[in-house]
Amino acid sequence: MPRSTSPGAFRIHASNLQRRIDRLAEVATTRLAYSEEDIRGRQLAMEMMREVGLVVSVDAAGNILGRRAGSRNLPPILFGSHIDTVREAGRFDGVLGVVAAIECVAVLQATDLLTLHPLEVVIFANEEGQNFGALCGSRAAVGDISSEDLQRSDASGRTLSDAIRGVGGKPEELESSIYADGRFCAFVELHIEQGGELDRLGIPIGAVEGISGIQHTDVLISGIANHSGTTTMEARHDALAAAAELILVVREMALQLHSCRVANVGRLVVSPNSVNIVPGSVELTVELRDMQATRIARTMEAIKRRTEDIGERYGVSFEFLDRKFMEPVPAHPAVLAAIEESCQALQFPFQRIPSGAGHDAQMMARIAPMGMIFVPSVGGISHSSKEFTEAEDCARGAEVLLETILRLDRLPDEAAIGVAYS
């Protein structure tokens, strides 16, 4: 058991990782899920997987799996990410987690190390959701895609079912091939942070405490549209001025009161939106994110209470429609512990950090103990060609991934994870 006594024995070379990242970027920088570019990227990734000895298959949902045998008859450890991108994407989002997983296997292969558990590298289909919504592949894998969803069409008229078939999936077999709870020993995903916290703090590794819950609430503010020249200030029922107060309350909740981690008003539409008419109504969406559902709920309640006074002062009414709620998904304590112990063993500074963005890991958490490793995004920039992570940080992240897998593999009692999880 070399790993338990000599952490860092398996070095991941930054240049090897970068070469793999470059090869995928050469296919195309925009690889929208299910597109020709995505398919070419997937073919290249499967080629890389086979090169390191993985036995490659595509599941019913179109996710790519590459298997390496273990020495015992145990559930496999699953790790990986995605390679589909947004439009005009960067080179690291998703890709890093996939190439690092392949590189981990390459290192094990080169040293002939056989783990107790089988290992499976996964490339989830359509994480970005530029068509058909986000996390398509991982949602389908855990049974969260309905037959109705499969019949939905994208802008070009192609159904999700056809798109999945186009990348080698078998939509008709989806239902019978859902990943069962317990099928995997654990799921670990390495990903760039996308936010700027690690970069700002100068810390190379984020041990992800979980994926933030998200509340979207639509707000309709109804005042009275009126002539901006003939309506005195006192006689106005200005929906936009009332909205302005609400926007500042939402910001204050997260920034000054720390009532939830982040809060956003990103969408706002004014009606009639005319220079010389007092705004009659405003529609906007409040988004709250936090690791605790109760904090989200309490914050939204506080915001609603604050609008009572605003409504009275501006002579407008507020209506709220709670549109979407995604529960926070905490990392599994045993996987989080393995990640943190790996950082300590490798002597990499690390920090617990929530994931503000959604990831396939949150779907995998439904059927397996889940953990995520973050590396710094320079300037917090993502979903942009300016997205960048230092080569050394990529390599450190991959080393933590490998160390974590080996620690999970050698946990004294394999069942311990399952117990803590259930």
- Rule CB under 8 A: which residues touch its own copies? 193-197, 200, 212, 214, 216, 226-235, 238, 240-241, 243-245, 247-248, 251, 254-255, 262-270, 273-279, 285, 287, 289, 355-358, 380-383
Please give the Cα distance from 38 to 166 (Å, whole number).
11
Q: Smallest gap, in angstroms, from Cβ of residue 277 to its own copies?
A: 5
Q: Smallest gap, in angstroms, from Cβ of residue 409 to its own copies?
A: 31
Residue 28: phi, psi to the nearest 5?
Answer: 175, 150
Q: Which is nearer to its own copies, 333 or 380 (CB)?
A: 380
Q: Which is nearer to its own copies, 73 or 230 (CB)?
A: 230
Q: Smallest gap, in angstroms, from Cβ of residue 119 to its own copies?
A: 29
Please give the Cα distance from 330 to 213 (Å, whole number).
9
Residues β-bridged to residue 355? 211
Please give the Cα distance from 149 to 123 (Å, whole number).
21
Q: Smallest gap, in angstroms, from Cβ of residue 203 to its own copies?
A: 14
Please give the Cα distance from 414 to 68 (Å, whole number).
19
Both tokens of 221, joined, read 């503010």
Q: Smallest gap, in angstroms, from Cβ of residue 305 to its own copies?
A: 19
Q: How many CB atoms lie within 10 A of CB 356?
A: 17
Please give the Cα distance from 1 to 96 (Å, whole number).
28
- The sign of the torsion formed by the CA atoms of 390, 392, 393, 395 equals positive
Please give the Cα distance from 281 to 275 (Å, whole number).
14
Both tokens of 90, joined, read 């960067």
Q: Which is nearer to its own copies, 143 or 380 (CB)?
A: 380
Which residue stretches of 52-181 are H helix? Answer: 95-111, 136-141, 147-151, 160-166
Q: Smallest gap, in angstroms, from Cβ of residue 155 to its own copies?
A: 17
Q: Which is nearer to its own copies, 180 or 248 (CB)?
A: 248
The answer to whether 24 touches 83, Cβ cutoff 8 Å, is: yes
Q: Smallest gap, in angstroms, from Cβ of residue 139 to its own copies?
A: 18
Residues 6+ apart with CB under 8 A from 244: none
Distance in angstroms between the alpha carbons of the first and the last residue of the chain? 29
Q: Smallest gap, in angstroms, from Cβ of residue 100 to its own copies?
A: 20
DSSP at 299: H
Residues 6+ apart with CB under 8 A from 385: 29, 88, 89, 90
Q: Which is nearer to its own copies, 143 or 356 (CB)?
A: 356
Q: Which is nearer to its own copies, 265 or 302 (CB)?
A: 265
Q: Smallest gap, in angstroms, from Cβ of residue 121 to its own copies?
A: 25
Q: Smallest gap, in angstroms, from Cβ of residue 360 to its own copies?
A: 15
Residues 6+ apart with CB under 8 A from 387: 89, 90, 91, 92, 93, 192, 377, 381
Q: Which is nearer to its own copies, 1 or 235 (CB)?
A: 235
Q: Which is nearer to its own copies, 241 or 373 (CB)?
A: 241
Helix count (H) and strand count (E) of the chain? 14, 15
Q: Which is nearer to its own copies, 265 or 297 (CB)?
A: 265
Q: Which is nearer to its own copies, 159 or 226 (CB)?
A: 226
Please give the Cα distance from 374 to 205 (Å, whole number).
6
Please give the Cα distance from 128 to 131 (Å, whole number).
8
Q: Smallest gap, in angstroms, from Cβ of residue 418 to its own copies?
A: 30
Q: Which is nearer to its own copies, 251 or 410 (CB)?
A: 251
